[in-house]
Amino acid sequence: MSRSAHPAGPRHADVLPEGHYTAPADDLNALDPKVWAHTVGRDADGVVTVGGIAVTQLAEEYGTPAYILDEADFRDRARAWRTAFGTDADVFYAGKAFLSRAVVRWLDEEGLNLDVCSGGELATALSAGMPAERIAFHGNNKSPGEIERAVRAGVGRIVLDSFQEIVRVAHAAESLGKRQRVQIRVTVGVEAHTHEFIATAHEDQKFGIPLADGQAAEAVRRALQLDGLDVIGIHSHIGSQIFDMSGFEVAAHRVVGLLKDVRDEHGVELAEIDLGGGLGIAYTSDDDPREPHEIAKALSEIVTRECEGARLRTPRISVEPGRAIVGPTAFTLYEVGTVKPLEGLRTYVSVDGGMSDNIRTALYDAEYSVALASRTSDAEPMLVRVVGKHCESGDIVVKDAFLPGDLAPGDLIAVPATGAYCRSMASNYNHAMRPPVVAVRDGAARVIVRRETEEDLLRLDVG
Ligand SMILES: *Cc1c(COP(=O)(O)O)cnc(C)c1O
């Protein structure tokens, strides 16, 4: 980490304000491959290209703001996860990061499974032809209607999140004459975020059934007695944007402890453990995520070691990456509308989107980087804050970054690593129309989710 409140190099103000930013890169025109999708580069004119298409052309055809998704990169990353975990483990893409029918088809073709957490996500998955047995259904308060639809469709697993749900799913399965495969989601008292994890975190959260006070063991006890349920394993998800594997180590230790207790009490060795998702990506050049094959190796070693210690057969592992697959594959393309220098502070750059297409900065204080995309520039770096056009002062897209000092209205700028939790969390605040997702591959672009229109907004308003 090379954060500094006094970045070296040229700057546009004598005194830099307090902030959490890195020194400007030596070359502001360079595109760090860590944060940009695989096929992103610049053409001979200095324009950013993706999949062989210039962003100026994309802006002209599809307008701004727009999410531009590198399909080849998405497939590469999905395949890398699939290959890393091999045939002895399952990879479930977490649909909540970003889901569309095109994405479902890519996942299907690349051999991944899919997590959904609502009736809407389930409907999208099924309508795109994802085989139901490769779908896992999550959520802490699935409605009876959602449960029935999932059981009827034949989803591969439902992840049970409460005592009430154990009964509800069993009841739904029995009344349909089925036996539903289920996992029980436990909270292991580990909380992991980015570079730190807390092994003694309180189980003070809405997800899962606490392990520490014996509730998880009781949940297994009850579920095993119900004819409608086929208890296949235990599920644990410990956090998000995780780089440090030690949180998984503690989680696996505790989950395997439960498997051992279940074996001792019921004579049943549960066949699967799901370690959830949460693997981190590079939002800025300071982040160093691990490769899927390193993660697969680490998780497999951890689980094998724990099971040997407990004299258990090693269960089948599953993982649920969302962000790590789709996050780096897309960037948001904006047009600069106004440039407002505040002497001694920073320059506010307003774009034609904002918190309606990326709520993560306002919600989580997330960090992003940004680049001038429609041209290169040799102008001195200036400290900027990229803000949206919404009526809210917290409407910030990129809190602190450097852009060339000659940035002007009409320039296109691009914010990388917006593939996850941006379109899926987008809103209509200020009656903004949610941007399209444009997939680019081998010199061809196509809209996979179209831009909302005023007619879309007015259609819901039945007045
Ligand atoms: C959100 C979530 C994931 C995916 O998290 P990422 O950070 O996108 O990898 C996986 N599993 C569960 C249960 C989740 O809630």
pLDDT, tens digit (0-9, with 9 covering 90-100), for 128-146: 999 999 999 999 999 999 9
Among 2-6, 211-215, 331-335, the range scoring the smallest mean pLDDT is: 2-6
281: domain CATH number is 3.20.20.10
Residues 313 and 394 in one domain: no
Residues 307 and 420 in one domain: no
Among 56-70, 197-211, 287-301, 372-386, the range scoring the smallest mean pLDDT is: 197-211
Q: Is the minimum distance from the CB of 236 to ligand 1 under 6 angstroms?
A: no
Residues 48 and 152 in one domain: no
CA 378–ligand 1 middle distance (angstroms): 41
pLDDT of amino acid 315: 97
Can you give the pTM of this predicted structure? 0.94
Q: Quick one: which atom of ligand 1 is closest to the CA of 420?
A: 8
321, 338, 372 - which closes a domain: 321
Percent with pLDDT over 70 in the chain: 95
Cα-based torsion angle of the residue sequence 236, 240, 245, 248 in order, rounded to the nearest 10 degrees: -10
Residues 158 and 50 in one domain: no
pLDDT of amino acid 5: 40
Does 88 map to a domain? Answer: no
Q: Is the minimum distance from the CB of 322 to ligand 1 under 6 angstroms?
A: yes
CA 320–ligand 1 middle distance (angstroms): 6
Q: Is the minimum distance from the CB of 239 to ligand 1 under 6 angstroms?
A: no
Does 38 map to a domain? Answer: yes
Residues 264 and 289 in one domain: yes
Residues 286 and 424 in one domain: no
Q: Quick one: which atom of ligand 1 is closest to the CA of 280?
A: 7
Q: What CA–CA distance (Å, rounded) separates 57 from 106?
A: 25
Does 21 map to a domain? Answer: yes
Does 99 map to a domain? Answer: no
Q: What CA–CA distance (Å, rounded) separates 338 from 386?
A: 10
Q: Is the minimum distance from the CB of 278 to ligand 1 under 6 angstroms?
A: yes
Instruction: Write out the residue range of the structural domain in which residue 32 sits.
Output: 13-70+328-460
Residues 301 and 353 in one domain: no
Residues 61 and 176 in one domain: no
321, 338, 353 - which closes a domain: 321
CA 97–ligand 1 middle distance (angstroms): 8
Q: Is the minimum distance from the CB of 39 to ligand 1 under 6 angstroms?
A: no
- Is there a catalytic annotation at residue 391? yes
Mean pLDDT estimate for the chain: 94
Residues 184 and 293 in one domain: yes
Q: How far is CA 117 from CA 113, 125, 417, in A?
A: 14, 11, 23
> Rounded to 5 degrees, what angle do the CA atoms 205, 206, 210 make?
70
Q: What CA–CA distance (Å, rounded) separates 90 from 32?
A: 31
Of the candidates 435, 402, 449, 455, which has an alpha carbon nearest to the alpha carbon of residue 59? 435
What's the rounded mean pLDDT across residues 304-320? Answer: 96
What's the rounded mean pLDDT across residues 347-363? Answer: 97
Q: What CA–CA distance (Å, rounded) separates 16 from 227?
A: 66
- List, as one string, the DSSP characters of 2-56: -B-SS-SS--SSSSPPS---BPPPS-TT---TTTS-TT-EE-TTS-EEETTEEHH
275, 295, 321 - which closes a domain: 321
Contact assessment for residue 114 and residue 125, using Cβ atoms and an 8 Å cutoff: yes
CA 129–ligand 1 middle distance (angstroms): 22
Q: Is the minimum distance from the CB of 96 to ligand 1 under 6 angstroms?
A: yes
pLDDT of amino acid 16: 62
Does 63 map to a domain? Answer: yes
Does 1 map to a domain? Answer: no
pLDDT of amino acid 7: 42
Residues 314 and 345 in one domain: no
Q: How many domains does the chain have?
A: 2
pLDDT of amino acid 290: 94
What's the rounded mean pLDDT across residues 358-382? Answer: 96
Selected residue with higher pLDDT from 205 and 113: 113
Among 10-14, 93-97, 430-434, 458-462, the range scoring the smallest mean pLDDT is: 10-14
377: domain CATH number is 2.40.37.10
Residues 152 and 250 in one domain: yes
Q: Best of 98, 237, 423 to mutate for ligand 1, by most ligand atoms within 8 A of CB?
A: 237
Query: pLDDT of 11-39, one tens digit each?
Result: 444 456 666 666 788 899 999 999 999 99
Q: How far is CA 191 from CA 290, 421, 427, in A?
A: 19, 20, 28
Q: DSSP label at 396?
A: E
Does 122 map to a domain? Answer: no
Does 283 map to a domain? Answer: yes
CA 292–ligand 1 middle distance (angstroms): 15
Residues 369 and 440 in one domain: yes
